[in-house]
Amino acid sequence: MARKPSPPARDAIVQALMRLAATRPWTDIEVTDIAREAGVSLAEFRDLFPSKGAVLGAFSRMIDKEVLEGTTDDLAGEPVRERVFDVMMRRIDALTPYKAALQRIFDAVRGEPLTLAALNQVALNSQRFMLAAAGVSTEGPLGLLKLQGAAVVFANTLETWLDDDDPALARTMARLDRELKRGERVLERAQDVRRLTAPLRALGQALFNRRRTRRPRAQDRFEDGDTTDPAAAI
């Protein structure tokens, strides 16, 4: 039976990629470079990750875990925006040691739609847990809007953070506050639209159910003497 790579190998690969990304262009980094830097074989690398993009996804999950482990219930009584603000700033704190690498990575993928789409999916998964840590539900009809909104808020804030050299991160925090306020307004409008259209949705559902109830099945028509082949209704 093949030996299963140990968990430290996964961590070593993630850290190796981020070290390389801090000093080299993203497009120049090969899986062989990452494996060599991490001190693992290509076989071990392949058993854990299919690509360097997958390693980047593991990095995001590592940051998720760090934020979640450090999140407490001390903000339970605060407004929602304050709770989300706190969790997102904790995420930025966790990303700080990797700032140089993230700058190079973001610069490299900015013009690649497919890569950005993949990274957006990673961001959605992360924000599901960030919002959960802030006590925000992402279930229900507006759940996806909340997730995508949080991903956009954080991405826009990161743009400012990457250029913010102030240790106090005043510009970053101001940008995050503005983005969260804008996100709140978008969500409120979406909630208003949903409330206003509720009667129309209820009417549409009622008509649909009524039509399904009254419409005879093809098999019933055939059994009642209709010579039409039931398969013709498919």
Mean pLDDT on 164-188: 94
The pTM (predicted TM-score) of the whole model is: 0.77
pLDDT in tens, 73-126: 776 778 889 999 999 999 999 999 999 999 999 999 988 888 889 999 999 999
Using alpha carbons, select from 35, 32, 24, 92 the residue that is nearest to residue 63: 92
pLDDT in tens, 12-48: 999 999 999 999 999 999 999 999 999 999 999 999 9
Q: What is the largest CA-CA distance in the chain?
A: 83
pLDDT in tens, 123-140: 999 999 999 999 999 998
- What integer pLDDT is reported at residue 163 of this predicted model? 95
Question: DSSP characters for 209-234?
Answer: HHHHHHSPPHHHHHHTT--S-GGGG-
Quick one: how far is CA 113 from the chain centroid?
16
% of the chain exceeding 90 in pLDDT: 64
Q: Which domains does the chain have, with CATH numbers?
A: 7-194 (1.10.357.10)
Cα 167 from Cα 93, distance rounded (Å): 11
- What integer pLDDT is reported at residue 191 of this predicted model? 72
- What integer pLDDT is reported at residue 221 of this predicted model? 43
Token duo for residue 56: 């980047």
Mean pLDDT on 185-196: 74
